[in-house]
Structure formats: structure tokens, C-alpha cells
Amino acid sequence: MEYKALLFCLIASILITPLVKKLAVKIGATDQPNHRKVHQIVMPRLGGLAIFLSFATGMLFFFPESELTWPILIGATIIVITGVLDDIMELSPKLKLLGQLVATGVVVSGGVVVEFINLPFGGQIEFGILSIPITVLWIVGITNAINLIDGLDGLAAGVSSIALLTISGMAITMGNVFVVFAGFMMLGATVGFLVYNFYPAKIFMGDTGALFLGFMISVLSLLGFKNVTLFSFIIPVIILGVPISDTLFAIVRRVLQKKPLSAPDKSHLHHCLINLGYSHPETVLIIYAVASLFSLAAVIFTKTTMFGAAIVLFCLVLMIEMIVEMTGLIGKNYRPILNLIRDYRTKR
């Protein structure tokens, strides 16, 4: 049944996206090229509206009676309205954050809250009054992380699809029917849009799509892994390793450069790879591969022992560090491990 839901949203997205493209051009929701952006021509955005409409239709058709359906759809609608307004008139960061907080408040009031985690050696950590702040921080953080990686044709949609596939697949093993259906419907809607968004893109998802994808991925990952073990709580962090790490290093970079955290720049992972000489599609495919490695690591993480989990985490941290140094994600002069290897070779 879940595969029918995926196919339903996939077809709906393929059919709706061209209509949204015409609407974007008509109302002036277009992306103008500038010094920070890779594209050189005016592009229609608002494509995220097609993803949302496809998903919402699927939810109302397959899951109309779930107690989670309406809080999620209302919260998602608020997020999409925020994104649409930003795609048309470019809202201030404060107004965008306000929209995200209101949407998060709706799903939190609907029961999407992390209340505790079970410890591996028995007992549990109760979050108490911190439950809501932790949940809000997670949802808002992931929502903006997906938005930050939306810089190349098909990048955010592809990385999100990999994350959604992993979350849905793991939800099957946990028997979480709602997350399986919602995840597959989001996957179908996103892949359907990706047909028009992969290089060379015919339409951008805009903030409408990036905010909506980030919001839904954050909510589904919480529903899939909340109130579980301490180590399982790490799983969604691993699955979303690419957007989370790119966001964290963007913060570090701006702090070191003494710039505001909201200040845009052209030093994200996809920018760095292009600067190294990779083409637009090659850069996207490389990041897809990295995202897939994170997802594979998350799956291994759930099947291994505590010692094995520690090894997986060590390998992930080492991989991230090497990517940072090789791409210059923090800065061209930050290369501690590469310099150590170079010095060792020189002495030999």
C-alpha cells in the first residue's frame, strides 16, 4: 500500500510541477542571477509548491483520519506560505524565522515532541521542560539546514530524497506505519519534482520547497526515532549529515570571519567543489554520494554493537574532517591532518 502512495505522489508531482512553473512566471516568483549564484539566467522558482500539493493530496487520500495528519498539514501550510512570500518578495530573516516557529508550534501542540531517551545501560533521560525547546531547535535547525544546501540544480531535492528513503526504510523495520507512508509520499513528491529540477533545471524549488522539505524531514525523523535509545537518537543526525555539517561549518566560518550568522556567502560545500574544478552535475553527484554514505552509516549504526557504533562514528568524523580540509570548507589554510601527512612524507 505504501508503494501505491509513493507512486500516487510521484505522478501528481510530475503533473503539477509544469503548472506551478507557469504560475511562478506569471506572478513574478523568479530567481535573478547574481554574484553568489551559479545560474546565469532568470529561473522560475516556487517549485516547492508542487511538492507540497502532491504530498498534501496524498496525505488526505491515504491518511485522512490520523491524529498527526492535520497538525502536520497545518504546520506545513504555514511553512509553505512563508516560503511563497519569500520567493515573491524576499522576507527578512526575522519574518522567515517567525513563520518557522509558528509552524513548529503547531506540530509540537499536535504531539510531535521528544520527551525522553532510553540509555543503553538501563534507565532514561527525561527532558522535562526542555522537551519543547529541544524539539523546536531540531525542527528549525534542520529546516534551515536544507535551505542552506539549496544552491545547485537538483542538490537539495536529491539529498532530501536520500534522507527520506533512509528514514522510510528504517521506519519499515520499526513498524512505524505513519512515518513509512508519509516518508514515501514525500519521497514520491520530491523525486517527481526532481525530474524538472536536475541539471539543467527548468524550475527551482525556491524557499517554498527548501523550507518545506527541511520541515517535513525534521518532523518525520523525530516521529521515527523519538523516545528511543541514546544511540538511536544519533541516527537522524547521521542521516542528515550533509546539510547539518555544511550548516555547522558555515557558522564556524562566519564566526571566524566575524560576519553575522545570517550573512550569505559562496563557501558552502557545493561552491567549494565547483571551485576545485568539478562541473555542476559532477558536484551534485559527489554530494549525493556523500549523503548516501551517511545514510549507509546510519543503517550500519542500528545493526552493530556499541563498539561497532563507536567505529562508525569515528570513521564519519574522520571523513568529514578530510572533506573539510580537501575542499577548504572552513578556509584554505585549515589543513591539520593533510599537513601532518605531508610532513610525514617529507621526513621519509
Quote the pLDDT of residue 332.
Answer: 79
pTM score: 0.89
Q: Which residues, at least 6 apart from 85, have a Cβ–Cβ distance to it below 8 Å?
A: 91
Of the candidates 120, 117, 116, the residue with the CA atom closest to the CA atom of residue 309: 120
Fill in the amino acid letter for 142: I
Quote the pLDDT of residue 40.
Answer: 59
Helix (H) or strand (E) segment spanning residue 72: helix 69-89
Q: Which residues, at least 6 apart from 216, have a Cβ–Cβ distance to it below 8 Å?
A: 55, 72, 76, 182, 186
In degrees, to the nearest 5, what angle opens at C-alpha 287 toward C-alphas 282 and 292? 125
> How does DSSP assign 257-297, residue by residue?
TT--TT---S-SHHHHHHHTT--HHHHHHHHHHHHHHHHHH
Report whether 48 contacts 81 (CB < 8 A).
no
Report whether 72 contacts 110 (CB < 8 A).
yes
pLDDT in tens, the chain (348 residues): 778 999 999 999 999 999 999 999 998 888 776 555 555 567 898 999 999 999 999 999 998 888 999 999 999 999 999 999 999 988 988 999 999 999 999 999 998 888 777 655 556 677 888 889 989 999 999 998 888 888 889 999 999 999 999 999 988 888 889 999 999 999 999 999 999 999 889 999 999 999 999 999 999 988 877 655 455 567 778 888 888 888 888 888 878 777 776 666 677 888 889 888 899 899 999 999 999 999 999 888 877 777 888 898 899 999 999 998 898 888 778 888 888 888 878 876
- Can you say which residues are annotated as belonging to the binding site? 147, 207
- Can you say which residues are annotated as belonging to the binding site for Mg(2+)? 147, 207
Q: What are phi and psi of 126, to 5 degrees?
A: -85, 125
Measured CA to CA, the distance from residue 122 to residue 114 in angstroms comes to 18
> How does DSSP assign 164-189, residue by residue?
HHHHHHHHHHHT-HHHHHHHHHHHHH
Quote the pLDDT of residue 272.
Answer: 87
Q: Is 116 in a helix, a strand, or coil?
A: strand
Residue 58 lies in domain = 2-347
> How does DSSP assign 213-263, residue by residue?
HHHHHHHHHHHHHTTSBTTGGGHHHHHTHHHHHHHHHHHHHHHHTT--TT-
Q: Is 1 in a helix, a strand, or coil?
A: coil
Distances (CA, A) of 293 to 25, 160, 312: 37, 14, 11
Of the candidates 111, 112, 101, 55, the residue with the CA atom closest to the CA atom of residue 78: 101
Domain count, the chain: 1
Measured CA to CA, the distance from residue 180 to residue 165 in angstroms comes to 9
